[in-house]
Amino acid sequence: MNLERSRALQRAAEALLPGGVDSPVRSFRAVGGEPRWIARGEGAWLVDADGNRYLDYICSWGALLFGHAHPPVLAALARAAQAGTSFGASSPLELALAESVHRMVPAAEMLRFVNSGTEATMAAIRLARGATDRMGVIQFAGGYHGHADVFLAQAGSGLATQGLAASAGVPPEAVTHTHTVPYNDAAAVERALRAHAGAFAAIIIEPVAGNMGCVPPRPGFLAALRHLATQHGALLIFDEVMTGFRVAAAGAGAHFGVAPDLITLGKIVGGGLPCAAYAGRAEIMRQVAPLGPVYQAGTLSGNPLAMAAGLATLEAIAAHPELHAELERRGAWLQSGLEAAIAQAGVAARVQRVGSMLTVFFSEKPVENFADAGACDRAAFARFHQALLERGVMWPPSQFEAAFFGAAHGDAEIEATLQAAAVALRAAAG
């Protein structure tokens, strides 16, 4: 596979961008591979700077539900761009997308657009703290809510201790109130709530974890969090930046029948443009400036290009009511094909999936939390990733990431993926 252009671009970029990337995971350091520089996307396919084609299972980290360069999205962008790119004032497309989100997502009684998932979750925590006049936050090990200081905490040595900074540059006081507990462990949440009664503003969770690999909630786990949050006066925040519009048109909360107090959305809501939102019960959202005392602002929030791309995407979902059922069928086919190839290769691996997000974990046992994910055979995953790449399949370059597919992954694409995976799983077996 000729990688000359990618190599040259990577080398030149390393002189200007830390690691040659604008986001760490793109460096391929987790798998020891050579990052590909992408020239364009076409439906389910990526084409790199050397002309090599890959079936894409990153899908802009879940942002693309209809594939790359989806014609209705491009047409909407072209129309919007003709009128200008940003006005620094409200424009009709913001209201149109807000109405779409409000219609599709039950938890979104009111909402505010921002430009990234990090902004959305950071604002949601500030809002929860302002609305409850409490500072404590419970998050889950292996969850990722963006890079705001408050989340860059790791569990202290024992439950009742305070969070410890998980990144250089995060002041200890920024994570003092952040408590990190194991995913799928409602008892640990209850112990933290009791150990610091009245201290917690929020419990924030990915209702389907995607940032340690795909880890579904155990039956009853989300409902238990709902009960505990209500009982202890904390707000339940579903971080649906990844799962929103993917796990179901109405989001994972609706899919599992659990209603959060606040929800964050991103990725799909912007159709591949920088756009995210925080939303929730109206009486909480009315605490946000200029109505209330919780400040948050953004130059490009609600910009017409992101609104146009998001609106075209949500309109496409609304126009295909059978979409998620079809994605479930394709996901089941992909999963059973991968499981057959795992058995054939005799490799210790398993597939965990919710709808069109999935992970091949190199683990004998089910992965139910971050400790389980951390015990996976990452060297085997790296061999799997490299072998797929060589066969034209771009899988997320980390064992701790979810893979995504969408409406552009048809029968031919799934077939081709399974053929490449059969070889890659044998390579993973070593």
Q: What are the residues binding ligand KE4 (CB under 6 A)?
A: 23, 25, 61, 116-118, 121, 144-146, 206, 210-211, 239, 241-242, 266, 401
Q: Please choose, from the candidates 183, 185, 206, 187, the residue with its C-alpha nearest in 3D space to the C-alpha of residue 195.
A: 187
Q: What CA–CA distances, in Å, run from 60 to 52, 68, 134, 263, 374?
A: 18, 9, 36, 21, 24
- Neighbour count for residue 12 (Cβ, 10 Å): 11
Closest distance to ligand KE4 from the beta carbon of 321 (Å): 26
The first and second tokens of residue 283, run together, are 């009486």
378 close to 212: Cβ distance less than 8 angstroms: no
Q: Which is nearer to ligand KE4, 360 or 427 (CB)?
A: 360
Residue closest to ligand KE4 (Cβ): 117
291 close to 284: Cβ distance less than 8 angstroms: no
Catalytic residue among 54, 57, 261, 267: 267
Helix (H) and strand (E) counts in the chain: 15, 16
Residue 56 a catalytic site member? no
Residue 267 a catalytic site member? yes
Q: Which is nearer to ligand KE4, 199 or 399 (CB)?
A: 399
Closest distance to ligand KE4 from the beta carbon of 221 (Å): 17
Closest distance to ligand KE4 from the beta carbon of 150 (Å): 13
Closest distance to ligand KE4 from the beta carbon of 26 (Å): 6
Catalytic residue among 48, 239, 372, 377: 239
The tally of CA atoms less than 13 A away on the side-chain side of residue 216 is 15
77 close to 308: Cβ distance less than 8 angstroms: yes
* Residue tagged 């238990």 (tokens): 224
Residue 365 a catalytic site member? no
Q: Which is nearer to ligand KE4, 108 or 342 (CB)?
A: 108
> For residue 313, what are the contacts with CB-CB under 8 A and spacing of at least 6?
65, 66, 70, 73, 245, 268, 269, 270, 271, 272
Q: Which is nearer to ligand KE4, 121 or 132 (CB)?
A: 121
Closest distance to ligand KE4 from the beta carbon of 374 (Å): 16
Q: Which is nearer to ligand KE4, 362 or 404 (CB)?
A: 404
Q: Catalytic residues, which ones? A: 144, 239, 267
